[in-house]
Chain A
């Protein structure tokens, strides 16, 4: 093992975030506030409650998930794409570092950043609406699991991408729509029949549902299924990363 290398990479990744600390903190604070102004006030005045939860509180887990997913992916994909793009990846490849260590460092860095971001959003939201968290352990578990899973997913995209365009394609075309259609701002029970069924093929539904359950004890789908789906996606990402490293795909060719 080369723990010093893991630490060196992790530290550089975190330093990158702290260099832009203003942007990393202020932008989520502003966007969360805007969501509350737009959704909380405008829509919340029409929909007062969902499942007995005030609409303002109801959207908080979805809002956190939305940022968690997009930020995990963009942090991790950029972190590995950037050295590939400028060529400084040569150093990483020539260092006595195992693939596992590379993944731990980059994914760890990206996940840490998005978890911190999630917590900032939570703190900002609590200024607007009174919040309770019924299952804090599961809340943290879902937070960490989602951050790690989607950082891994971002890492895969970063290795796969050959251009900046490709780097932004997956988050833009797949993740953002899935998140918005994943019940961030509504309960899927509010959808008409056929859409409800279609929605069940959206993996993000399970993440948001499970996460919301940890807050309010109420969920669109059962928590066990949510947890199972999250773990399944994590397993798929791990398998892909393992394959990438076994073949040297787009890294050592």
Chain B
């Protein structure tokens, strides 16, 4: 896979003197769903705004499908659709007018059938003659998505697209994102719902205090940094963890009926196989055994803690 967006040495210092981006190097692969995670104020919106041409960078270069966003801004911006974090629409325009306006702004010839399809896909068709001011928050969010899709972008930025959207609509939205990806659209999203990144993304980038601290394929990330837990349901409750098993740092439940073993794939803690062998040797029998992977959320929280 080739990269569609290349961000090299990008920094941003705001007029206030605040350094929002330290030095960002990042490649986005063609056709992937990339999730950018980071706490409030990490610089996600700043980075997206720079790529989309809304904020000037202080230094560095960005290319979109080989087009420099400075020298060749028309070609670069024409490929991008942006759904910003804030709900900002001209409240007095109708849904139909504002989506067609967006299409025109990006230099595309009028295409009623296409705009109708976009509105139908986002369940906004019934509202096409409504003024934006009369829409609910979730509808406004979808209207902003419709505006971003109106000019058939090849890259879609979604800055917290599901904030304020109910569960059912969120599902629809992700369904739409998947369809877009099937059509070859590259998607970069930020979200605070880490389950979403976990469910949707091919790769995950973590940004903190203006620095990218990690970029990984989601599966590798979960494998490398994810911790696993094995829980054993004991046949007979134990009063304490036997001395012979102390090197495993096992946790015994209050009633003595459960033993929990936490391990990660990279640590030098002894493996599951040897634990089971040692349990047998110590004469501890179990009824059942269960293992769990830690979620992306836990990984994320751990990463940020290490970065402090």
- Of A7, A82, A91, A98, most B-chain CB atoms within 10 Å: A91
Q: Are A248 and B56 in contact (CB under 8 A)?
A: yes
Digit string of A238-253 for contact with B (CB within 8 Å is 1, else 0)? 0000000000100011
A96 touches B106 (CB 8 A): yes
Closest Cβ of chain B to A187, distance in Å, is 44
Contacts of A92 in B (CB 8 A): 105
Type the 1/0 row for A58-99, where 1 means its CB is closer than 8 Å to any CB of B.
Answer: 000000000000000000000000110011101111111110
Bound complex: CA A91 to CA B81 (Å): 9
Cross-chain contact B55 with A5 (CB below 8 angstroms): no
As a 0/1 sequence over residues 48 to 88 of chain B, the CB contacts with chain A under 8 angstroms (1 = contact) are 01001111100000000000000001111110101010101
Q: Mark B97-139, 1 if CB is under 8 A from A, else 0.
A: 1001111111111000000000000000000000000000000
In the complex, identify which listed stretch (A8-16, A26-34, A229-237) lies at the interface while the others stay far away.
Answer: A8-16
Q: A86-B88, A88-B89, A94-B80 are in contact. Are A253 and B53 (CB under 8 A)?
A: no
Report the separation of the CA atoms of residues A36 and B107 in the bound assembly, to the nearest whole angstrom: 47
**Contact in complex: B93, A12 (CB < 8 Å):** yes
Task: Please judge, given known A-B contacts A94-B54, A94-B80, whether A4 and B15 are in contact too, CB under 8 Å.
Answer: no
Q: Return chain A residues, CB-CB under 8 Å to B76.
A: 96
B52 cross-chain contacts in A, Cβ below 8 A: 90, 93-94
The tally of residues in A whose CB lies under 8 Å from a CB in B reads: 28
List residues of chain B with CB within 8 A of the CB of A7. 104
A46 at the interface (CB under 8 A from B): no
Which B residue's beta carbon lies closest to that of A93? B54
Interface residues on B, range: 35 or more
Q: Is the CB of A83 within 8 A of B82?
A: no
In the complex, what residue of chain A is closest to B55 when comparing beta carbons?
A: A252
Chain A residues closer than 8 Å to B15, beta-carbon distance: 253
The answer to whether B105 touches A5, judged by C-beta atoms less than 8 angstroms apart, is yes
Query: For the complex, is B141 an interface residue (Cβ under 8 Å from A)?
Result: no
| Bound CA–CA A83/B86 (angstroms) | 13
Query: In the complex the two chains form, is B105's CB within 8 Å of A9's CB?
Result: yes
Q: How many Å lie between the Cα of A91 and that of B80 in the bound state?
A: 11
Within the complex, the shortest CB–CB distance from A44 to chain B, in Å, comes to 42
Q: Is B92 an interface residue (CB 8 A)?
A: yes
A-side contacts of B104, CB under 8 Å: 4-5, 7-8, 11
Q: Is the CB of B74 within 8 A of A2?
A: yes
How many residue-residue contacts, CB under 8 A, span A and B?
81
Q: Is B106 a contact partner of A5 (Cβ separation < 8 A)?
A: yes
Chain B neighbourhood of A11, CB < 8 A: 101, 104
State in angstroms the CA–CA spacing of A202 and B86 once bound together. Answer: 44
A253-B55 contact in complex given A4-B108, A8-B105, C-beta closer than 8 Å: yes
Q: Give A208 to B74 CA distance when docked, in angstroms.
A: 42
Out of A12, A16, A86, A90, name the residue touching B54 (CB < 8 Å).
A90
User: Which of A15, A16, A88 interacts with B88 by CB under 8 Å?
Assistant: A88
Q: Which A residues from 85 to 143 make CB contacts under 8 A with B? A: 86-88, 90-98
Closest chain-A Cβ to B283's Cβ sits at a distance in Å of: 68
Assembly CA distance A94 to B80 (angstroms): 8
Q: With contacts A19-B92, A252-B55 known, is A91 near B102, CB below 8 A?
A: yes
A94–B52 alpha-carbon span in the complex (Å)? 5
Whether A96 and B55, one on each chain, are in contact in the complex, defined by CB atoms closer than 8 angstroms, is: no
Q: Does B193 contact A (CB under 8 A)?
A: no
Assembled-state Cα–Cα distance A4/B53 (Å): 19
Contact residue among A4, A91, A253 (Cβ-Cβ distance under 8 Å from B147): A91
Q: Which residues of B contact A82 (CB under 8 A)?
A: 90
Compute how far the CA of A97 lies from the CA of B86 in the bound complex, rounded to whole angstroms.
22
B91 contacts the other chain (CB 8 A): yes
Given A12-B93, A15-B97, A88-B88, A95 and B106 contact (CB-CB distance below 8 Å): yes
A2-B56 contact, Cβ under 8 Å, with A86-B88, A90-B84, A253-B14: no
Q: A248 CA to B73 CA in the complex, in Å?
A: 14
Q: Which residue of A lies closest to B151 (CB)?
A: A95
Instruction: Give which listed residue, A12, A86, A98, A253, contacts B101 with CB less than 8 A.
Output: A12
Contacts of B105 in A (CB 8 A): 4-5, 8-9, 91-92, 95, 97
Q: Could you tell me the distance between the alpha carbons of A94 and B55 in the complex, rounded to whole angstroms?
A: 9
Q: Bound complex: CA of A94 vs CA of B82, how far in Å? A: 8
Which A residue's beta carbon lies closest to that of B106? A95
Q: Let me know if A96 and B75 touch, CB within 8 A.
A: yes
Could you tell me if A96 and B90 are in contact, using CB atoms closer than 8 angstroms? no
User: Closest residue of chain A to B108, judged by CB?
Assistant: A4
Chain A, residue nearest B14 (CB): A253
Give the docked Cα–Cα distance between A16 and B101 (Å): 13
Top-10 shortest CB links A-B: A8-B104, A87-B88, A96-B74, A94-B52, A96-B77, A2-B107, A95-B105, A96-B78, A252-B56, A93-B54
15 CB contacts below 8 A, A to B, read A12-B90, A12-B97, A83-B90, A86-B90, A86-B91, A87-B86, A88-B88, A91-B102, A91-B147, A93-B53, A93-B54, A94-B53, A94-B77, A96-B78, A97-B105
